Chains A and B, each alone.
Chain A
Amino acid sequence: MAGDAQVKRRAFLRDTAALAGAVAIGAHAQGGLAPSQDITPLIAKIAGGRKVEPGGIDIDIPQVAENGNSVPAHIKVESPMTPDDYVGAIHVFAPRNPRPHVATFHLGPQSGRAEISTRIRLAGTQKVTVLAALSGERFRMADFEVLVTSAACLDESSI
């Protein structure tokens, strides 16, 4: 009967789709690279529930980093840096690193410029996220996607 064939086909499609889904989840969990961790709790802890606005941060990192062990990063937050309006702290996160919190830099009006240059480790291609804490309990956030061809922290044999 045509109706019977239709039911079998439907069941077959449903079962194969479920199987494909299970395989995809398994592959994702066992992948060589660690998946991106959710850094929202880290950000919420710093911001303490206050509003985080996007933008106003210039993240200068090479789009393609050949060696994840040392990636030059230059971070600039737009701010007049006066005693009334300044950047108090710059937090850097790499969500795919084993420990996503990379560093926190504390500045103040005496800094003159809300700018930092440093070198960071990146365990794979990921969105480097920067949270800036401004005076008056304001927060700004921005991210930047970096393609890493040779990741840091992963190859344990090459020591």
Chain B
Amino acid sequence: MLLGRVQVPRSVRKGEIVEVRVLVQHPMETGFRRDMNGQAIPLNILDKVTARYGGREVFSAELGSGMSANPYIAFYVRAEASGDIEVEWSDDHGEKGRATATLSVG
């Protein structure tokens, strides 16, 4: 389980464009580094992030080794109705994680 969090504004108006911020704990090992014994540290990259809002996919990203450790992504979505923004992520080893934030449209 890869830990992470999703943040949205506390309350929004209908039609407002909302910033969704995602932060995932991940080393994003490039595969180019070596440990203290000179052994290569294998590649380990969080390569897929997907966000759903009201069950519909609204954003996705494919990441490479050029992303910083503990990837941070902020994107936008238009608030239509109250509901959950579910964000899922997975790395190249098949490890997965998810987090949810509730958008309350007033």
Contacts and interface: CB of A to CB of B under 8 A. Distances in A.
A120 B73 CA distance: 10
Interface string B59-97: 111111111110111111110000000000000000000
Nearest to B17: A112
Contacts of B73: 105, 116-118
A125 interface: no
Contacts of A98: 30, 32, 65
A104 B62 contact: yes
Contact of A97 (B36, B56, B58, B66): B66
The DSSP consensus for interface residues of chain B is: strand
A121 B65 CA distance: 8
A94 interface: yes
A107 B75 contact: yes
B17 A113 contact: yes
A72 to B, nearest CB: 9
B66 A120 contact: yes
Interface string B24-57: 0000001011111000000000000000010010
B64 A99 contact: yes
Interface in A86-118: 92, 94, 97-108, 110-113, 115-118
A11 B62 CA distance: 57
A133 B18 CA distance: 22
Best-surrounded residue of B58, B60, B72, B76 (most CB of chain A within 10 A): B76
Given A71-B68, A119-B72, 4 more contacts: A94-B66, A101-B66, A111-B75, A112-B76
Interface of A: 69-71, 92, 94, 97-108, 110-113, 115-122, 153, 156, 159
